[in-house]
Amino acid sequence: MRTGQSHHFDLGPACLPDVLRQDMRGPDVADLASGLFEDMKSVLRCETGKVMFCPGSGSVAWEAALTNTLNRGDKVLIARHGQVSSRWVEMAQRLGLDVEVIDAAWGAGVPVEEIDARLGKDCRDEIKAVFVTHNDPATGVTSNVAELRRVLDGNFHDALLFVDGTSSIGALDFRTEAWEADLVVTGSEGLMLPSGLGILGVSEKALEASRTANMRRACFDFGDMLKMNADGLLPCAPPIHLLHGLRISLDRIAAEGLDNVIARHKHLAEGVRRGISAWGLSLVAEHHALYSNTVSAIRVPDDVDARDVLRIANDAYNTVFGSGQGPLAGKVFRIGHQGDLNEAMCLTALSIAEMSLYRAGAPLQLGAGVGAAQSWFAGAASGQPTFRIAAE
Protein backbone atom coordinates (compact mmCIF):
# COMPACT_ATOMS: atom_id res chain seq x y z
CA MET A 1 0.00 0.00 0.00
CA ARG A 2 1.55 3.27 -1.13
CA THR A 3 0.71 6.59 0.44
CA GLY A 4 1.11 10.15 -0.74
CA GLN A 5 1.03 11.68 -4.19
CA SER A 6 2.68 9.87 -7.08
CA HIS A 7 4.83 11.86 -9.50
CA HIS A 8 5.28 11.31 -13.23
CA PHE A 9 8.24 12.96 -14.93
CA ASP A 10 8.52 10.82 -18.06
CA LEU A 11 7.93 12.55 -21.42
CA GLY A 12 4.39 11.86 -22.70
CA PRO A 13 1.81 12.46 -21.64
CA ALA A 14 2.84 15.97 -20.65
CA CYS A 15 1.67 16.98 -17.17
CA LEU A 16 -2.10 17.43 -17.08
CA PRO A 17 -3.76 20.51 -15.56
CA ASP A 18 -6.48 19.76 -13.02
CA VAL A 19 -9.08 21.70 -15.00
CA LEU A 20 -8.60 19.34 -17.92
CA ARG A 21 -9.31 16.28 -15.80
CA GLN A 22 -12.37 17.91 -14.30
CA ASP A 23 -14.05 19.22 -17.45
CA MET A 24 -14.66 16.44 -19.97
CA ARG A 25 -18.05 17.64 -21.18
CA GLY A 26 -18.81 20.35 -23.69
CA PRO A 27 -20.57 21.32 -26.91
CA ASP A 28 -21.67 19.00 -29.69
CA VAL A 29 -18.87 17.10 -31.33
CA ALA A 30 -19.23 18.78 -34.73
CA ASP A 31 -18.97 22.28 -33.29
CA LEU A 32 -16.15 21.17 -31.03
CA ALA A 33 -14.05 19.59 -33.80
CA SER A 34 -14.56 22.46 -36.24
CA GLY A 35 -13.07 24.91 -33.78
CA LEU A 36 -10.19 22.59 -33.01
CA PHE A 37 -9.19 22.23 -36.66
CA GLU A 38 -8.77 25.99 -36.93
CA ASP A 39 -7.26 26.70 -33.52
CA MET A 40 -4.66 23.96 -33.89
CA LYS A 41 -3.26 25.97 -36.80
CA SER A 42 -2.22 28.69 -34.38
CA VAL A 43 -0.10 26.22 -32.41
CA LEU A 44 1.38 24.84 -35.64
CA ARG A 45 1.92 28.42 -36.82
CA CYS A 46 0.35 27.97 -40.21
CA GLU A 47 -2.48 29.73 -42.04
CA THR A 48 -2.79 27.56 -45.14
CA GLY A 49 -3.24 23.82 -45.53
CA LYS A 50 -5.37 21.59 -43.34
CA VAL A 51 -5.32 20.07 -39.88
CA MET A 52 -6.60 16.50 -39.51
CA PHE A 53 -7.13 14.22 -36.53
CA CYS A 54 -6.47 10.48 -36.44
CA PRO A 55 -7.86 8.51 -33.47
CA GLY A 56 -4.78 6.64 -32.30
CA SER A 57 -1.18 7.50 -31.50
CA GLY A 58 1.25 9.70 -33.36
CA SER A 59 2.42 6.56 -35.16
CA VAL A 60 -1.05 6.18 -36.69
CA ALA A 61 -0.82 9.75 -37.94
CA TRP A 62 2.59 8.97 -39.42
CA GLU A 63 1.19 6.02 -41.36
CA ALA A 64 -1.63 8.22 -42.65
CA ALA A 65 0.90 10.84 -43.75
CA LEU A 66 2.95 8.31 -45.70
CA THR A 67 0.15 6.35 -47.33
CA ASN A 68 -1.76 9.44 -48.45
CA THR A 69 1.08 11.30 -50.15
CA LEU A 70 3.51 8.70 -51.51
CA ASN A 71 3.43 5.82 -53.97
CA ARG A 72 4.73 2.34 -53.34
CA GLY A 73 8.38 2.22 -54.45
CA ASP A 74 8.98 5.95 -54.01
CA LYS A 75 12.45 6.84 -52.74
CA VAL A 76 12.49 8.63 -49.40
CA LEU A 77 15.42 10.00 -47.41
CA ILE A 78 15.33 9.55 -43.64
CA ALA A 79 17.77 11.01 -41.12
CA ARG A 80 18.12 8.31 -38.43
CA HIS A 81 19.54 9.60 -35.16
CA GLY A 82 17.20 8.38 -32.44
CA GLN A 83 14.26 6.17 -31.56
CA VAL A 84 11.57 8.06 -33.48
CA SER A 85 13.47 8.15 -36.75
CA SER A 86 14.43 4.48 -36.35
CA ARG A 87 10.73 3.65 -36.19
CA TRP A 88 10.06 5.68 -39.33
CA VAL A 89 12.63 3.67 -41.23
CA GLU A 90 10.92 0.44 -40.25
CA MET A 91 7.45 1.79 -41.06
CA ALA A 92 8.47 3.15 -44.45
CA GLN A 93 10.16 -0.12 -45.38
CA ARG A 94 7.13 -2.17 -44.35
CA LEU A 95 4.90 0.07 -46.45
CA GLY A 96 6.98 -0.68 -49.53
CA LEU A 97 8.90 2.57 -49.90
CA ASP A 98 12.49 2.69 -51.17
CA VAL A 99 14.18 3.93 -48.02
CA GLU A 100 17.57 5.60 -48.06
CA VAL A 101 18.99 6.27 -44.60
CA ILE A 102 21.55 8.82 -43.45
CA ASP A 103 22.71 7.80 -40.00
CA ALA A 104 23.98 10.08 -37.26
CA ALA A 105 24.99 9.31 -33.70
CA TRP A 106 22.35 9.22 -31.00
CA GLY A 107 22.93 12.61 -29.42
CA ALA A 108 23.63 14.38 -32.70
CA GLY A 109 21.08 16.45 -34.57
CA VAL A 110 19.76 16.00 -38.07
CA PRO A 111 22.85 15.61 -40.33
CA VAL A 112 22.09 18.65 -42.49
CA GLU A 113 25.40 18.67 -44.38
CA GLU A 114 25.03 15.02 -45.42
CA ILE A 115 21.45 15.62 -46.53
CA ASP A 116 22.62 18.66 -48.50
CA ALA A 117 25.25 16.58 -50.29
CA ARG A 118 22.78 13.79 -51.09
CA LEU A 119 20.12 16.13 -52.43
CA GLY A 120 22.74 17.86 -54.54
CA LYS A 121 23.40 14.56 -56.31
CA ASP A 122 19.71 13.86 -56.91
CA CYS A 123 19.57 15.59 -60.28
CA ARG A 124 16.40 13.74 -61.35
CA ASP A 125 14.48 14.47 -58.14
CA GLU A 126 14.11 10.76 -57.44
CA ILE A 127 13.83 11.47 -53.71
CA LYS A 128 10.17 12.22 -53.12
CA ALA A 129 10.30 13.01 -49.40
CA VAL A 130 12.74 13.88 -46.62
CA PHE A 131 11.88 12.79 -43.06
CA VAL A 132 13.27 14.54 -39.97
CA THR A 133 12.61 14.60 -36.24
CA HIS A 134 12.38 18.08 -34.77
CA ASN A 135 12.81 16.93 -31.18
CA ASP A 136 13.96 13.40 -30.37
CA PRO A 137 12.63 12.32 -26.96
CA ALA A 138 15.05 9.40 -26.60
CA THR A 139 18.12 11.62 -26.77
CA GLY A 140 16.82 15.04 -25.73
CA VAL A 141 17.99 16.56 -29.02
CA THR A 142 16.28 19.40 -30.90
CA SER A 143 17.32 19.76 -34.54
CA ASN A 144 17.34 22.78 -36.83
CA VAL A 145 14.48 22.28 -39.29
CA ALA A 146 14.86 25.81 -40.69
CA GLU A 147 18.37 24.91 -41.84
CA LEU A 148 17.04 21.80 -43.57
CA ARG A 149 14.47 23.90 -45.42
CA ARG A 150 17.31 26.15 -46.62
CA VAL A 151 19.11 23.04 -47.87
CA LEU A 152 16.06 21.88 -49.84
CA ASP A 153 15.59 25.32 -51.36
CA GLY A 154 19.30 25.71 -52.05
CA ASN A 155 19.25 22.51 -54.08
CA PHE A 156 16.01 23.53 -55.83
CA HIS A 157 14.62 20.21 -54.66
CA ASP A 158 10.89 19.51 -54.69
CA ALA A 159 10.81 16.70 -52.10
CA LEU A 160 8.05 16.77 -49.51
CA LEU A 161 9.31 17.65 -46.03
CA PHE A 162 7.95 15.39 -43.27
CA VAL A 163 8.57 16.60 -39.71
CA ASP A 164 7.80 14.83 -36.44
CA GLY A 165 6.87 17.34 -33.75
CA THR A 166 5.34 15.00 -31.20
CA SER A 167 7.54 16.15 -28.32
CA SER A 168 7.98 19.76 -29.46
CA ILE A 169 4.78 21.28 -30.83
CA GLY A 170 3.06 23.39 -28.21
CA ALA A 171 6.25 23.73 -26.15
CA LEU A 172 9.13 24.59 -28.51
CA ASP A 173 9.41 27.09 -31.34
CA PHE A 174 7.82 25.21 -34.25
CA ARG A 175 7.05 27.10 -37.47
CA THR A 176 5.19 24.96 -39.98
CA GLU A 177 4.62 27.66 -42.58
CA ALA A 178 7.99 29.42 -42.29
CA TRP A 179 9.78 26.08 -42.66
CA GLU A 180 7.42 25.01 -45.46
CA ALA A 181 6.89 21.68 -43.72
CA ASP A 182 4.50 19.59 -45.81
CA LEU A 183 3.50 16.88 -43.35
CA VAL A 184 3.71 17.70 -39.64
CA VAL A 185 2.88 15.01 -37.10
CA THR A 186 2.15 15.38 -33.43
CA GLY A 187 -0.07 13.73 -30.87
CA SER A 188 -2.25 14.46 -27.89
CA GLU A 189 0.44 13.24 -25.48
CA GLY A 190 2.51 16.34 -26.24
CA LEU A 191 -0.42 18.69 -25.66
CA MET A 192 -1.17 17.98 -22.00
CA LEU A 193 -3.38 14.98 -22.81
CA PRO A 194 -3.23 11.20 -22.63
CA SER A 195 -2.18 9.37 -25.79
CA GLY A 196 -4.87 8.52 -28.32
CA LEU A 197 -5.21 11.36 -30.83
CA GLY A 198 -2.81 11.78 -33.73
CA ILE A 199 -2.68 15.26 -35.26
CA LEU A 200 -1.58 16.11 -38.79
CA GLY A 201 -0.70 19.43 -40.37
CA VAL A 202 -0.93 19.03 -44.15
CA SER A 203 0.30 21.61 -46.66
CA GLU A 204 -1.40 22.43 -49.94
CA LYS A 205 1.51 20.75 -51.70
CA ALA A 206 0.93 17.55 -49.72
CA LEU A 207 -2.81 17.72 -50.41
CA GLU A 208 -2.02 17.92 -54.12
CA ALA A 209 0.25 14.87 -53.81
CA SER A 210 -2.54 12.98 -52.05
CA ARG A 211 -4.74 13.19 -55.14
CA THR A 212 -2.45 10.80 -57.05
CA ALA A 213 -0.96 8.72 -54.21
CA ASN A 214 -1.75 5.04 -54.76
CA MET A 215 -0.76 3.37 -51.49
CA ARG A 216 -3.48 1.34 -49.79
CA ARG A 217 -5.41 2.99 -46.97
CA ALA A 218 -8.81 2.48 -45.42
CA CYS A 219 -9.69 4.36 -42.23
CA PHE A 220 -7.51 7.39 -42.83
CA ASP A 221 -7.89 8.55 -46.42
CA PHE A 222 -7.32 12.29 -46.80
CA GLY A 223 -10.20 12.61 -49.27
CA ASP A 224 -12.65 10.97 -46.89
CA MET A 225 -11.24 12.87 -43.93
CA LEU A 226 -11.59 16.26 -45.60
CA LYS A 227 -15.20 15.59 -46.59
CA MET A 228 -16.12 14.67 -43.03
CA ASN A 229 -13.99 17.38 -41.45
CA ALA A 230 -16.00 19.98 -43.37
CA ASP A 231 -18.97 19.02 -41.16
CA GLY A 232 -16.86 18.80 -38.01
CA LEU A 233 -16.70 15.01 -38.11
CA LEU A 234 -13.95 12.39 -38.16
CA PRO A 235 -13.88 9.33 -40.46
CA CYS A 236 -14.27 6.92 -37.54
CA ALA A 237 -15.47 7.04 -33.94
CA PRO A 238 -13.76 10.07 -32.38
CA PRO A 239 -12.18 9.97 -28.92
CA ILE A 240 -14.61 12.54 -27.50
CA HIS A 241 -12.76 12.88 -24.22
CA LEU A 242 -9.58 13.82 -26.06
CA LEU A 243 -11.35 16.37 -28.24
CA HIS A 244 -12.78 18.02 -25.13
CA GLY A 245 -9.36 17.85 -23.54
CA LEU A 246 -7.69 19.35 -26.59
CA ARG A 247 -10.14 22.25 -26.43
CA ILE A 248 -8.99 23.00 -22.89
CA SER A 249 -5.32 22.54 -23.79
CA LEU A 250 -5.51 24.93 -26.74
CA ASP A 251 -7.41 27.47 -24.65
CA ARG A 252 -4.72 27.32 -21.98
CA ILE A 253 -1.96 27.81 -24.56
CA ALA A 254 -3.84 30.77 -26.03
CA ALA A 255 -4.42 32.30 -22.59
CA GLU A 256 -0.75 32.06 -21.65
CA GLY A 257 0.38 32.99 -25.14
CA LEU A 258 2.37 30.58 -27.30
CA ASP A 259 5.54 32.68 -27.08
CA ASN A 260 5.23 32.69 -23.28
CA VAL A 261 4.71 28.93 -23.26
CA ILE A 262 7.90 28.50 -25.28
CA ALA A 263 9.80 30.86 -22.96
CA ARG A 264 8.53 29.02 -19.88
CA HIS A 265 9.73 25.68 -21.21
CA LYS A 266 13.14 27.17 -21.99
CA HIS A 267 13.40 28.63 -18.48
CA LEU A 268 12.37 25.42 -16.72
CA ALA A 269 14.62 23.26 -18.89
CA GLU A 270 17.62 25.44 -18.11
CA GLY A 271 16.97 24.99 -14.39
CA VAL A 272 16.86 21.22 -14.84
CA ARG A 273 20.07 21.27 -16.88
CA ARG A 274 21.90 23.31 -14.24
CA GLY A 275 20.88 20.74 -11.67
CA ILE A 276 22.21 17.93 -13.85
CA SER A 277 25.50 19.77 -14.36
CA ALA A 278 25.84 20.24 -10.59
CA TRP A 279 25.67 16.45 -10.20
CA GLY A 280 28.70 16.20 -12.51
CA LEU A 281 26.65 14.36 -15.13
CA SER A 282 26.21 15.09 -18.83
CA LEU A 283 23.39 14.99 -21.32
CA VAL A 284 23.16 12.73 -24.35
CA ALA A 285 22.80 15.79 -26.59
CA GLU A 286 26.26 16.55 -27.94
CA HIS A 287 26.27 20.33 -27.45
CA HIS A 288 24.24 23.23 -26.12
CA ALA A 289 22.60 24.14 -29.43
CA LEU A 290 20.93 20.72 -29.49
CA TYR A 291 19.55 20.73 -25.94
CA SER A 292 15.84 19.99 -25.81
CA ASN A 293 13.58 22.14 -23.66
CA THR A 294 11.03 19.34 -23.21
CA VAL A 295 13.19 16.42 -22.10
CA SER A 296 16.67 15.87 -20.68
CA ALA A 297 18.36 12.53 -21.36
CA ILE A 298 20.98 12.08 -18.62
CA ARG A 299 24.01 9.80 -18.80
CA VAL A 300 24.66 8.00 -15.51
CA PRO A 301 28.20 7.13 -14.29
CA ASP A 302 29.73 4.02 -15.85
CA ASP A 303 29.41 2.02 -12.64
CA VAL A 304 25.72 2.89 -12.19
CA ASP A 305 22.87 1.13 -14.00
CA ALA A 306 20.21 3.65 -15.01
CA ARG A 307 17.59 0.94 -14.53
CA ASP A 308 18.42 0.95 -10.82
CA VAL A 309 17.78 4.69 -10.71
CA LEU A 310 14.38 4.14 -12.32
CA ARG A 311 13.53 1.29 -9.96
CA ILE A 312 14.46 3.26 -6.84
CA ALA A 313 12.49 6.30 -8.02
CA ASN A 314 9.44 4.15 -8.60
CA ASP A 315 9.66 1.93 -5.52
CA ALA A 316 10.78 4.51 -2.97
CA TYR A 317 9.28 7.74 -4.27
CA ASN A 318 6.26 6.77 -6.41
CA THR A 319 7.90 8.52 -9.34
CA VAL A 320 8.32 7.56 -12.99
CA PHE A 321 11.19 8.88 -15.08
CA GLY A 322 11.87 7.95 -18.69
CA SER A 323 14.11 4.99 -19.44
CA GLY A 324 17.01 4.82 -21.87
CA GLN A 325 15.94 3.46 -25.25
CA GLY A 326 17.76 1.40 -27.85
CA PRO A 327 21.55 1.61 -27.41
CA LEU A 328 21.05 3.92 -24.40
CA ALA A 329 19.22 1.32 -22.28
CA GLY A 330 20.81 1.09 -18.83
CA LYS A 331 23.05 4.07 -19.56
CA VAL A 332 20.52 6.87 -19.50
CA PHE A 333 17.39 8.02 -17.72
CA ARG A 334 15.20 10.90 -18.81
CA ILE A 335 13.40 13.73 -17.07
CA GLY A 336 10.45 15.06 -19.03
CA HIS A 337 9.64 18.74 -18.52
CA GLN A 338 6.81 19.45 -20.92
CA GLY A 339 3.26 20.67 -20.44
CA ASP A 340 1.48 22.09 -17.40
CA LEU A 341 4.68 22.48 -15.42
CA ASN A 342 6.21 25.02 -13.02
CA GLU A 343 9.43 25.57 -11.08
CA ALA A 344 8.28 23.66 -7.99
CA MET A 345 7.49 20.58 -10.07
CA CYS A 346 10.93 20.68 -11.69
CA LEU A 347 12.56 20.98 -8.26
CA THR A 348 10.55 17.94 -7.13
CA ALA A 349 11.80 15.97 -10.13
CA LEU A 350 15.40 16.96 -9.46
CA SER A 351 15.14 16.15 -5.76
CA ILE A 352 13.77 12.66 -6.41
CA ALA A 353 16.26 12.02 -9.22
CA GLU A 354 19.07 13.16 -6.94
CA MET A 355 18.02 10.81 -4.13
CA SER A 356 17.57 7.92 -6.57
CA LEU A 357 20.99 8.48 -8.15
CA TYR A 358 22.61 8.67 -4.73
CA ARG A 359 20.99 5.43 -3.57
CA ALA A 360 22.02 3.75 -6.84
CA GLY A 361 25.66 4.57 -6.10
CA ALA A 362 26.29 7.77 -8.03
CA PRO A 363 29.00 9.92 -6.37
CA LEU A 364 27.13 13.17 -5.99
CA GLN A 365 26.56 15.69 -3.22
CA LEU A 366 23.00 15.70 -1.96
CA GLY A 367 21.37 19.05 -2.52
CA ALA A 368 23.77 20.13 -5.25
CA GLY A 369 21.39 19.70 -8.16
CA VAL A 370 18.37 21.14 -6.41
CA GLY A 371 20.43 24.09 -5.17
CA ALA A 372 21.75 24.89 -8.63
CA ALA A 373 18.24 24.85 -10.06
CA GLN A 374 16.95 27.00 -7.21
CA SER A 375 19.66 29.56 -7.90
CA TRP A 376 18.63 29.71 -11.53
CA PHE A 377 14.95 29.97 -10.73
CA ALA A 378 15.62 32.68 -8.17
CA GLY A 379 17.53 34.69 -10.74
CA ALA A 380 20.94 34.42 -9.05
CA ALA A 381 22.51 32.44 -11.87
CA SER A 382 21.32 34.71 -14.68
CA GLY A 383 21.22 38.04 -12.88
CA GLN A 384 17.59 38.37 -13.96
CA PRO A 385 14.39 38.33 -11.91
CA THR A 386 12.64 35.00 -11.50
CA PHE A 387 10.67 34.04 -14.60
CA ARG A 388 6.98 34.77 -14.11
CA ILE A 389 4.53 32.05 -15.03
CA ALA A 390 1.41 33.48 -16.66
CA ALA A 391 -1.48 33.95 -14.25
CA GLU A 392 -4.41 31.58 -14.47
The mean pLDDT of 366-387, rounded to a whole number, is 80
Quick count: other Cβ atoms within 10 Å of Cβ 231?
A: 9
Q: How confident is the model over 80-114, as pLDDT tens digits?
A: 999 999 999 999 999 999 999 999 999 999 999 99
Q: How confident is the model over 191-222, as pLDDT tens digits?
A: 999 999 999 999 999 999 999 999 999 889 99
pLDDT on residue 340:
95
Helices (DSSP H) in the chain: which residue ranges? 18-22, 29-44, 58-69, 83-94, 112-121, 145-154, 204-210, 222-229, 240-256, 258-278, 306-317, 343-359, 368-378
pLDDT on residue 389:
45
pTM more than 0.85: yes
**Residue 334, annotated ligand binder?**
yes
The mean pLDDT of 51-59, rounded to a whole number, is 92
Distance between CA atoms of 191 and 295, rounded to whole angstroms?
A: 14
CATH 3.40.640.10 placement within the chain: 18-254
pLDDT on residue 233:
84
Quick count: other Cβ atoms within 10 Å of Cβ 224?
A: 15
Q: How confident is the model over 257-291, as pLDDT tens digits?
A: 999 999 999 999 999 999 999 999 999 999 999 99
Q: What is the CATH T-level fold of the domain 258-378, as seen in this structure?
A: Aspartate Aminotransferase, domain 1 (3.90.1150)
Q: How confident is residue 146, by pLDDT bands cut at 50, 70 and 90?
A: very high
Q: How confident is residue 7, by pLDDT bands cut at 50, 70 and 90?
A: confident
pLDDT on residue 3:
59
CATH 3.90.1150.10 placement within the chain: 258-378
CATH number of 18-254: 3.40.640.10
